[in-house]
Amino acid sequence: MRSYEQYCAVARALDVVGDRWSLLIVRELILRGPCRYTDLRHGLPGIATNLLADRLGELEKAGIVEKVDAPPPVATSLYELTPRGRDLGPVLESLGRWGSVLMETGRRGDQFRSHWLAFPISRLVDAAPEAPPVTIQLRTGDQPMVVETASGSVRARPGTIEDPDAVLAGPPDAVLGVLVGRMDLAKARRRGLRFEGNVAALERIRPSR
């Protein structure tokens, strides 16, 4: 790993996590928790296996990632963030906020994994926390996701749920655009979105414009 050789906190931080893929490895471990090597490869499309091994080694040496043995029946090694690594969570959240304006449209050829939606969805707020919780099923990308309200916050997790209040299916840019309030349903439908269910459930978590 090359150093900027500057007595500056930003430069020192980039010495550790500024290499290509390093922060995306941290992203995967924040969003998914402890991961097998194969899980990380799936969540990092485009990375060469030898480069992933190198980056993990560097992050371990820096005290950001550690390897642990999973209990039976998994019986394999898992990678997880150390407390120092988890401290990077707010950094990635800030980067996500800064980069959200770059997500207005999808780009042809971009890879996508459904669990990446968890970051932008976690910034949403339940407009009626005193009301019964709502659930929204998302069908986009490689796996279904469930959006649910809890104590005023909004979270997303992989999986399916019976009888959701609403279902959003289609291209990820249309699904995300509707959820975060950048796109109305009419425009999203022209982009290929399919919507079923209660519009009020969707409006409850959409930011006011």
Number of structural domains the chain divides into: 2
Q: Which two tokens stand for residue 201?
A: 């459930």
Residue 71 lies in a domain: yes
Residue 17 lies in a domain: yes
Output the tens digit of pLDDT for each of the chain's 209 residues: 689 999 999 999 999 999 999 999 999 999 999 999 999 999 999 999 999 999 999 999 999 999 998 877 777 899 999 999 999 999 999 999 898 888 877 677 889 999 999 999 998 999 999 999 999 999 999 999 999 998 889 999 999 999 999 999 999 999 999 999 889 999 999 999 999 999 999 999 987 65
> Which residues form the domain of 135?
114-205
- What H or E segment, with its residue span, contains residue 85? helix 83-86
- What H or E segment, with its residue span, contains residue 153? strand 153-158
Residue 2 lies in a domain: no
Q: Does residue 117 contact residue 172 with C-beta atoms inside 8 Å?
A: yes
pLDDT above 90: percentage of residues in the chain: 83
Q: Are residues 97 and 148 in the same domain?
A: no
Q: Are residues 132 and 198 in the same domain?
A: yes
19 vs 207: CA distance, rounded Å: 34
Residue 201 lies in a domain: yes
Q: Are residues 47 and 91 in the same domain?
A: yes
Q: Which residues contact 189 (CB under 8 A, 6 or more apart)?
A: 195
Residue 4 lies in a domain: no
Residue 83 lies in a domain: yes
Q: Are residues 63 and 127 in the same domain?
A: no
pTM for the predicted model, two decimal places: 0.90
Give the per-residue pLDDT at 35: 95
Give the per-residue pLDDT at 208: 61
